[in-house]
């Protein structure tokens, strides 16, 4: 079932924690994972890194908590995973 398109705002705040708010329907909070020495924890050569064209197939782990709810959605849902990296999308 397709729902009608709606326009809304998307606001982000970057700092130690990245926070993004999407209108009144969603919020994401993400913080980069660090080891005991304070170094970023990374993941290399995972399938999604290649599929999404992450540069050098490397990403820093950044667990997130997100919440999504809208009256037109069948149910509210949350997520708890994430990664941060740079990417260059190429179209063939």
**Which pLDDT belongs to residue 13?**
92
The H or E element that residue 51 is part of is helix 47-51
Q: Which residues of the chain have pLDDT under 70?
A: 1-3
**Which pLDDT belongs to residue 37?**
96
Question: Global pTM?
Answer: 0.62
* Distance of alpha carbon 53 from alpha carbon 8, whole angstroms: 28
């Amino acid at each position: 079932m397709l729902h009608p398109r709606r326009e809304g705002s998307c606001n982000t705040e970057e700092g130690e924690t990245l926070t993004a708010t999407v209108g009144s329907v969603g919020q994401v909070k993400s913080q980069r994972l660090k080891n005991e020495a304070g170094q970023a924890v990374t993941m290399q050569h995972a399938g999604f890194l290649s599929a999404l064209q992450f540069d050098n197939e490397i990403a820093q782990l950044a667990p997130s908590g997100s919440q999504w709810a809208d009256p037109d959605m069948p149910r509210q849902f949350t997520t708890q995973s994430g990664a941060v990296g740079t990417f260059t999308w190429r179209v063939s």
